Amino acid sequence: MNYWLLKSEPDTFSFERLKREGRTEWSGVRNFQARNNMQAMKAGDLGFFYHSSVPEPGIAGILKVTREAYPDFTARERGGEYYDPRASEANPIWQMVDVAYARDLPRFVSLAEMRANPALAPTMVLLKRGSRLSVQPVHVREWNIILAMADLP
């Protein structure tokens, strides 16, 4: 199993909405490295749902990958927010995955807390200077440290 971190602004799509709806397509990603990360995802992989662009960003809960990468149809929706004129049926360019609610965390783990943890700071992609990647890998060691920070055994 691999572990991931997927970012979303709560105004766009929140962890609470995922919990309420149960599952969703993770579409609209327009960064090649993030797309490549989604292509590496396998059904059953787990990920942290990270709230970004808020006063206190951080990890709100856990999601599960339920469908592996497939063409992101939003890239071909003319006039849509994620439209890309380079994308076609023959060459979709962008990919998406389906994810589902997996579980709540006993407590929210803030970005500030993660930055303050010396076991995470040197290696975690999220904490590297300039990292704005919306879909990123999480090493199993980092995953376990964050679960402990969230008070999960």
Cα separation of 74 and 3, whole Å? 25
Ordered strands of the 3-8 beta sheet: 23-26, 95-110, 58-71, 46-51, 3-8, 135-138
What residue ranges of the chain have pLDDT lower than 70? Answer: none
Structure-token pair, residue 98: 């389906």
Full residue range of the structural domain in which residue 126 is found: 3-149
Cα atoms in the Cβ-side hemisphere of radius 13 Å centred on 114 = 25
pLDDT reported for residue 152: 82
Cα separation of 4 and 108, whole Å? 17
Cα separation of 17 and 100, whole Å? 11
pLDDT reported for residue 11: 95
Q: Which residues of 36-57 are buried (b: 16+ CB within 10 A; e: fewer)?
A: ebbeebeeebbbbbbbbeeeeb
Overall number of domains in the chain: 1
CATH of the domain at 62: 3.10.590.10
Cα 91 versus chain centre, distance: 24
pLDDT reported for residue 34: 96
Cα separation of 39 and 103, whole Å? 23
**pTM score:** 0.94
pLDDT reported for residue 121: 84
pLDDT reported for residue 122: 84
